[in-house]
Structure 1
Amino acid sequence: MSALDPRLAGRTVTVRVPATTANLGPGFDTLGLALALYDELTVSVRDEPGAFVDVNGVGAGEVPTDESNLVVRSIAHTFAAYGQELPGLHLVARNVIPHGRGLGSSGAAIVSGIMAAKGLLEGIVEIDSLGLLARATELEGHPDNVAPALFGGLTIAWVTPEGPQFKKLIVHRGVSPLVLVPQETMSTALARSLQPESVPHADAIFNVSRSTLLIAALIQSPELLLAATEDKLHQSYRASAMPETDRLIGELRAAGFPAVVSGAGPSILVLCSDPGQRLEAVDLVASRSATPWQSLVLAVDFKGATVVLHPDEVE
C-alpha cells in the first residue's frame, strides 16, 4: 500500500447511479436493465482519518454511517485493489432506490462507492470499464445487477477465467418499464436459498430459448415480450416466499402483460410494449390486490453510473 497521495487533498466527487432490475424473467444471473431512478452521492476527502456518512431518504436511520457502510467499504475495496491508501472521507447519500425490493439497491451502493473511488483517483489511477465491473463483481458476487448500474441500458453479463465481461445493448424505444413495489421486503440470500442445485433438462432448454428471444424482443420486437419473459428456472421455486407477488404476476400475465419478478423480488417488473399499457397494468393490480403497491412508471436509463470530479478540485 502506498502512502496517501497528496493530490487527494480537498477532492470532492458527485456520483449518480441508476436502479436496476435483473433476470427479466428467463435471463437468470445474466440479463439486467438500468432504470431511470437514481441514488446520488457526494464524497469529500477530509483531513481527519475515518469515514462519516450522512444518509438522506431511503435507509436514513437504518444503514450504517461509519466505515461499515457498504458504500464506504466499496470505496476502500477499490483503493486497496489499486494499491492506494484510503483518505478520511465525508459522504452525503441521497437515496431513492427502495431497499430489499429487487431493484438493485445493494448493487447501486457498491457501484456508487467504486465510481466515487474512480473519481477521487482521477489522474492518479485510471480504472477502465472491465476494472470497474471486476471490482463491483468481487463485492456483489455476480455481475447481473452491477453491469447495468455501471453502464446503463440492457446488459448481458458473463464470467470468464479472466474476469467478468459485459455487452451493452440499446433497448427499443417502445419498451416501457413499470415496477410495482410492495411494502414488504425480500432477502436476496433467502431467495437464492430456494433455488435448486439442478433443474430438468427440458426447463434449461426452455429458458435458453426464452432468454434468446427476450434479447430480440427488447432491442427489436417488443410485441414478443409476453412470450419472451416466460421462465422455468427460478421464479416458481421462489414463489412460496412471495405469494402475493406470484399471484399478481399470474393475473397480469393471464391478462396479456409481460410481468416478471424484479431481481430477487418481491417487486414486479412489467415490460410493457407501449406507455399506455402501463396504466392498464396499474389499474389491474389496484383492483385485485388487498395490499398497497407503489407504481413506478420508469424509463430505461441509457447512460449508467456517472461521476464528476468537481472542476475546482482538479490540479
Structure 2
Amino acid sequence: MRLVADHVLVTVPATAGNLGPGFDALGMALGVRDEIEVRAVASGETVISIEGEGAETLARDESHLVVRALREALDSVGASQVGLEIRCRNRIPHGKGLGSSAAAVVAGITAARALIAEPEALDAAAALRLATAFEGHPDNAAPAIFGGATAAWVDAEGAHATSLTLDPAIETAVLIPESVLPTKEARAVLPPQVPHTHAAFNVGRAALLVAALGGQLELLLPATEDKLHQSYRADSMPPAVAMLQHLRGEGYAAVVSGAGPSVLVMGTGLGSLTWPDGLGGEAWELIHTVGPVQGAKSRRV
C-alpha cells in the first residue's frame, strides 16, 4: 500500500461511554474536539508537539497513543512506515470520562487512512476493530468514529457498531469537575459478578434509552437509570454522585460520563442548566452541545 499524502489534518470528538445503563455498549459524541496535524517525513524520526490538555505529561516519542495507533494502522494495510511530525491541539479533558484515549487512538487511525492510496482499506469498520484492540471495549471508539450515538458489540470477528437514531432536538451538557479519575481505577472497583435482577434491569433500561434517544424524550429520565456500574464507583467519585443526585432530583437525565468523574446530561433546554456553587466540593465546567456531533474527520493539506 502506497502513501499518497504527506500532510493531513484530523479532528476527533470527545465521547461519553455507557450513557447510564448501556455499559460498554452505548456511546455518544460530544461537542469538543482534538485536532491533530500529521506530516510524513523522510528523516525517520518522530517529533511531537502538544498544546492544551496533557502538554505537561504526555509522551513525545513512539509510545504516544496517536503514534502507536497510526503505525498499527499502517502495518494493518501493508503501508510503509515513515518519520512523523505530529502537532496535537488537545481540547478533550484527560482523566474525566470523556474518551480522551479513544480520541487519540481514532486520530492516529484516521490520519493513517488519509495518508494511504486506498483509504477504503481503513474504513469505519476496520478502524473500529483496530481502535477496540487498543481500548479493550468499543463504546467510546464507536461514536468517535461514527459520530452521533452508537451501539457497539464484540464477537469472534472483533468489534462492530451501528449508529442510533438521535432526535435532532437532543442537547447534551457535560459537567466537568476539577478532579480526575483514571479509567483503570474506575474499572477496578467493579465486581466480577452482578445479581441477575440488576442485569435484567439494565437490559430493559438500555432498550428504553434507544427509544428515548430516537424521539421519545419524555422517557430519558427513567431510561438513564443504572444498576451495573455507577453505584459501585460512587465511593471513587463523591463529587459526581453529589451532582447526579442534584440533577436527577431536578428531573434531568444525568449519568456518569464513561468511567467518570464528569457528568453527562441529555435532554432539551440545557443551556440554562444551573447548580449550587461548589457542589460536591468542586468547581464545575460546563460544555453544552446542541444536536448530533460528527465523528472523526480528516483532510489532506
Q: 2:190 aligns with which of 163, 184, 195?
A: 195
Q: How far 1:114 sits from its partner (Å)?
A: 0.3
What residue is the counterpart of 1:94 in the other structure? Answer: 89
1:126 pairs, out of 121, 126, 133, with 121
What residue in structure 2 maps to residue 13 of structure 1?
A: 8
What residue ranges of structure 1 are gaps of 5+ in the alignment? Answer: 311-315
Q: What is the alpha-carbon distance in structure 2 between the residues aligned to residue 125 and residue 34 of structure 1?
A: 23
1:305 to 269, 272, 296: 296
Q: Partner of 2:39 in structure 1?
A: 44
Q: Give CA-to-partner distance per residue, 1:89-147, whole Å, 9 cap, x none.
A: 10011110000100000000000000001111133772222111111111111110000
Contact 2:77–2:121, Cα closer than 8 Å, also in 1: no
* Aligned equivalent of 2:176, options 172, 176, 181: 181
Size of the aligned set, in residue pairs, is 301
Deviation of 1:48 after TM superposition, in Å, equals 0.3
| Distance apart, 1:220 and its partner CA | 1.4
Alignment of 1:221-260 (within 5 A): 221-260=216-255
Report the alpha carbon displacement of residue 193 of structure 1 after superposing the two structures with TM. Answer: 0.6
CA distance in 2, matches of 1:201, 1:65: 46
Matched, 1:279 2:248: no
Mapped partners of 2:15, 2:296: distance in 1: 11
Residue deviations 1:146-197 (CA, integer Å, cap 9, x gap) = 0000010110000111221111023112211000001111110011111111
What CA RMSD, in Å, does the superposition of the two structures yield over aligned residues? 1.6
CA distance in 2, matches of 1:214, 1:11: 43
Partner residue in 1 for 2:286: 295
Contact 2:35/2:89 (8 A) holds in 1: yes
The letter for the 2-side match of 1:203 is H
Structure 2: segments with no counterpart, 5+ residues:
none
> Whose radius of gyration is greater, 1 or 2?
1
Q: Is the 8 A contact 1:248 1:285 kept in 2?
A: no
Amino acid aligned to 1:160? D
Question: SS at 1:103's partner residue?
Answer: coil
The two structures have a TM-score, normalised by structure 2, of 0.96
Q: Distance in 1 between matches of 2:296 and 2:120?
A: 19
CA offsets 1:266-290 (integer angstroms, 9 cap, x no match): 0001112x12x4423xx22437444
Distance 1:301 1:18, change over 3 A: farther
- CA pair 116-285 structure 1, distance change in 2 beyond 3 A: farther
Cα contact 1:174–1:222 (8 A) shared by 2: no
Distance change (3 Å), C-alpha of 1:303 and 1:64: same
TM-score by length of 1: 0.91
Amino acid at match of 1:291: E
Q: Which runs of structure 2 are paired with 1:60-209 in the superposition (5 Å)?
A: 60-123=55-118, 126-209=121-204
